[in-house]
Amino acid sequence: MANEYLPKYIKIKNDIEDMINEGKIKPGSKLPTENELSEKYGVSRHTVRKALNILRQEGLLYRKQGVGTFYKSNSNKTTKNIGFISISLHAYIFADMLSSVDKILYENGYQILLGNSMDNHEREKEILKEFIKKNVDGLIIEPAKSARNYPNTSLLKRFVNNNIPVTILDSKFKEDNFNNITVDDEHGGILATEHLLEMGHENIAMIYKGLHKPALGRFRGYKQALKNHKIPVYNNYVKQYLNSEFEDRTNFKKEIEEITKELINADPQPTAIFCFNDQVAIFVKEILQKEGYDVPADISIIGFDNSKQANLENITSVAHPKEKVGEKAAKITLERINDGKFEYCEDVMFKPKLVKRGSVKRIQKRGEKIGKIK
């Protein structure tokens, strides 16, 4: 492993930083002495001192002459800066959410420090560490790849340990010291699938993102709506993609193209496709048209988020209340700063609505079935 080739003082530095991130070393607490650390790691005091010096330079530690080295707690001095991390900062729905956050913060004398994780855990980690150094007064974050082995929870806890409130967007973790602003994605999945069922579709496929918690909720809604109508969920119709559209656009498009072609070749062919979001829906529409299919005459499509692009492409979509989400996130963050209840958890869930456009066709119901999921 790469860590085996690091200098010893870097290994010690990383180890101490990991303990801080995991909450094993609390803000204001004293670290073991240089002699104790030398004995623990089997190195000289000079090596230990090099590791501690780096952490002091990075603002994590400070030294009291004749007393020892301490983990530096967040200063009580406000910076009027709020960290905002999104998985993307391009137009889609993120710009609307950000605009709502900025409006509330600006009216209250705060400004935003922006971070774009590009749906990448490592990139997100570096942004979080940078925001801690800059003593932001609060953090609003849409976590990258929140559904699978999310690695930065301990780092988010470090903010709370330093009296910095954390507000999570569109995902929720088991920890009880984060504020959570979510959309009822399961209900949204039911709305989308029910609409297709009402329009006569029974052979309904779904494409969803396996790395994102909102996608899992939408998938649950899809399954529940079919169950409510006593329609089985079929293997051939459920397609999960794992390449993030924000991290690796090329592989994402390649994966969606393969998935769409698999659906075209399913027997029987689905009459409708419910897509995790509007970006997927728009791309699926393009692929279908290249393959000679018309939307919705041959295959109907429905998206999620009600983005500006969905409106331009005339795609039916489930509306994500993006402006309300951004506004509420900003207000909750400011409330926690003002009342000092940094570990107080507030859960807010918004209900999505269906926006009908021209991408869903009414058809006669089909009776033909395919093999069930086990």
Q: What is the pLDDT of residue 296?
A: 97
Enumerate domains of the chain plus CATH numbers: 2-71 (1.10.10.10), 81-183+321-351 (3.40.50.2300), 185-320 (3.40.50.2300)
Asked if residue 210 lies in contact with residue 147, where contact means CB atoms within 8 angstroms, the answer is yes
The contacts of residue 76 (CB under 8 Å, 6+ apart) are none
Q: Please, which pLDDT band fits residue 91 given cuts at 50, 70 and 90?
A: low
Q: What is the pLDDT of residue 342?
A: 73
Taking the CA atoms of 69, 70, 76 and 78 in sequence, report the sign of the dihedral they define.
positive
Higher pLDDT, 23 or 94: 94
pLDDT in tens, 253-265: 999 999 999 999 9
Higher pLDDT, 80 or 67: 80
Look at phi and psi of residue 198 and say left if phi exceeds 0, alpha if psi is from -120 to 50, else beta: alpha
14: phi then psi, degrees, rounded to nearest 5: -65, -40
Asked if the model's pLDDT at residue 61 lies above 90, the reply is: no
Instruction: Tell me the residue type at 62.
Output: Y
Asked if the model's pLDDT at residue 3 lies above 90, the reply is: no
Asked if the model's pLDDT at residue 370 lies above 60, the reply is: no
Question: How far is it, in rounded angstroms, from Cα 133 to Cα 191?
Answer: 44
Higher pLDDT, 77 or 237: 237
Looking at the chain, the whole-number percentage of residues with pLDDT higher than 90 is 64
Residue 67 DSSP code: T
Query: Which whole number is the average pLDDT over 128-143?
Result: 92
Question: How far is it, in rounded angstroms, from Cα 178 to Cα 167?
Answer: 6
Q: What is the pLDDT of residue 14?
A: 85
pLDDT in tens, 101-119: 999 999 999 999 999 999 9
- What is the rounded average pLDDT for all residues in the chain? 90
Question: How far is it, in rounded angstroms, from Cα 254 to Cα 171?
Answer: 27
Token pair in block for residue 139: 């953090």
**3-state secondary structure at position 30:** strand
Query: Which whole number is the average pLDDT over 125-143?
Result: 93
Asked if the model's pLDDT at residue 294 lies above 80, the reply is: yes
Q: What is the pLDDT of residue 57?
A: 83
CA distances from 129 to 10, 60, 61, 139 (A): 17, 10, 14, 12
Question: How far is it, in rounded angstroms, from Cα 153 to Cα 174?
Answer: 10
Q: Please, which pLDDT band fits residue 133 given cuts at 50, 70 and 90?
A: confident
Asked if residue 194 lies in contact with residue 272, where contact means CB atoms within 8 angstroms, the answer is no
Asked if residue 173 lies in contact with residue 188, where contact means CB atoms within 8 angstroms, the answer is no
Question: How far is it, in rounded angstroms, from Cα 72 to Cα 324?
Answer: 36
Q: Please, which pLDDT band fits residue 246 given cuts at 50, 70 and 90?
A: confident
pLDDT in tens, 190-208: 999 999 999 999 999 999 9
**pTM for this one?**
0.83
Q: What is the pLDDT of residue 1?
A: 43
Query: Which whole number is the average pLDDT over 139-148?
Result: 93
Looking at the chain, the whole-number percentage of residues with pLDDT higher than 70 is 94
Query: Which whole number is the average pLDDT over 71-85?
Result: 81
Residue (of 286, 270, 192) closest to 238 by Cα position: 270
pLDDT in tens, 147-191: 888 999 989 988 988 889 999 999 988 777 899 999 999 999 999
